Amino acid sequence: MTAPLLNIATLSKRFGGHAALSDINLEIEQGEFIALLGPSGCGKTTLLRCIAGFLTPDDGSIRIAGEDVTRLPPYRRPLNTVFQNYALFPHMSVADNVAYGPRRKGVDKKDARSQAVEALDLVGLSGFGDRFPRQLSGGQQQRVALARAIVNRPKLLLLDEPLSALDLKLRKRVQIELKHLQEKLGITFVFVTHDQEEALTMADRVVVMSNGRIEQVGRGEDIYRAPATRFVADFIGEANLLLCSNLPDGSLMTSVGSLPIRPKMRPKGDRLIAVLRPENVVILPNGPAEGLSTAPAVVEDVIHVGSHLIVNARVGDTVITSRVSGQLPAEVVEGAHVHVGFRPDDSHLIAE
């Protein structure tokens, strides 16, 4: 079994009395696209900066390709970093910006230029070498920063929210291009983002962080369908979180509307929460339906969101959200008395 490309063990970093990172353990394989995902202040950029060498951890170790780099300066690590602001040299042409890395490594001017042209071609900027950064759009500048980062073929590429300055439409297009580029080059990418859709779209695995700790690591689909903690369930997508109670026969029922559930896995703990995704909740204007757990409800509002509808319905003191594709029956309007329902095995159980 081959060793992981990046191995982070018991890593901690403090700023004064604040623990920015606490006991981080993470292994990343060669060729993976990893997203570090979490809200502002969760520690994802601090972790990236420790990997890059811009910060020195207080405890723990970082190994790249088997080498302990924990206290090596950035220029001695086999990686490159793409920053949020691109950090291009404004007085240099695009080609000279990209050739800067090879030139620093002692490559002669002609070969460095050739490598720069090849890297620009990979990011779709053939023919842009003689322009200056100020003559490029934000998306083009981002690609120059990528070309400069990949020109030396590093073992590891770190990206600190590099798409955040792009408008939504361009950002979505560049997400796909970046993923294709990573697959073509086979370079390991570690990508910091607070945008969960971006992480789920691009990454092979997602590392969800909160308060300086890793909450869960896994494929985006697995994290969405089987969150490990309440934070992950609430942060990734939308979720109805329903407190559960145990019945004498060992079965489970939510405390909302006495809805029975049949989760595939049952964690340990006395206080359990059922995670129910809105797309698994149906609105039933004509009463209960066979095979579903149902409860009477009152529609609070119906919100049109592009290709789907959001229906919020109140069951007792709890609002349950349903995401509906297509048309709703005409009688499902604000104030209508309906039933909400879901299949008992569509819920996922977590310990509170």
Contacting residues for 341 by C-beta, under 8 A, at least 6 apart? 281, 282, 284, 288, 289, 292, 293, 294, 295
Phi, psi of 341 (to 5 degrees): -150, 160
CATH 2.40.50.100 fits 238-351, yes or no: yes
Q: Report how far apart the first and last C-alpha atoms of the chain are (Å, whole number).
A: 37
The per-residue pLDDT for 250 is 64
Strand partners, 21: 13
pLDDT by residue for the chain (352 residues), tens only, comes to 578 999 999 999 999 989 999 999 999 999 999 999 999 999 999 999 999 999 999 999 999 999 999 999 998 999 998 887 778 899 999 999 999 989 888 889 999 999 999 999 888 888 899 999 999 988 888 889 888 988 888 999 999 988 877 778 878 888 888 888 889 889 999 999 998 989 998 999 999 999 999 999 999 999 999 999 999 999 998 999 998 877 666 678 887 877 888 877 777 777 889 999 999 999 999 888 888 999 999 999 999 988 899 999 999 889 999 999 888 888 889 999 999 999 988 989 898 7
Strand 59-64 and strand 67-68: pairing? antiparallel
Q: 3-state secondary structure string, 124-152?
A: CCCCCCCCCHHHCCHHHHHHHHHHHHHCC
The whole-angstrom distance between residue 84's C-alpha and the CA centroid of its chain comes to 16
Task: Note the CATH architecture for domain 6-230.
Answer: 3-Layer(aba) Sandwich (3.40)
Question: Can you give the pTM of this predicted structure?
Answer: 0.89
Contacting residues for 87 by C-beta, under 8 A, at least 6 apart? 145
User: How is residue 159 written in tokens?
Assistant: 């990206």
How do the domains of the chain map onto residue ranges? 6-230, 238-351
SS3 278: helix
Q: 3-state secondary structure string, 239-261?
A: CEEEEEEECCCCCEEECCCCCEE
The per-residue pLDDT for 157 is 93
The per-residue pLDDT for 190 is 96
Q: Which of 281, 35, 78 is nearest to 182 (CA)?
A: 35
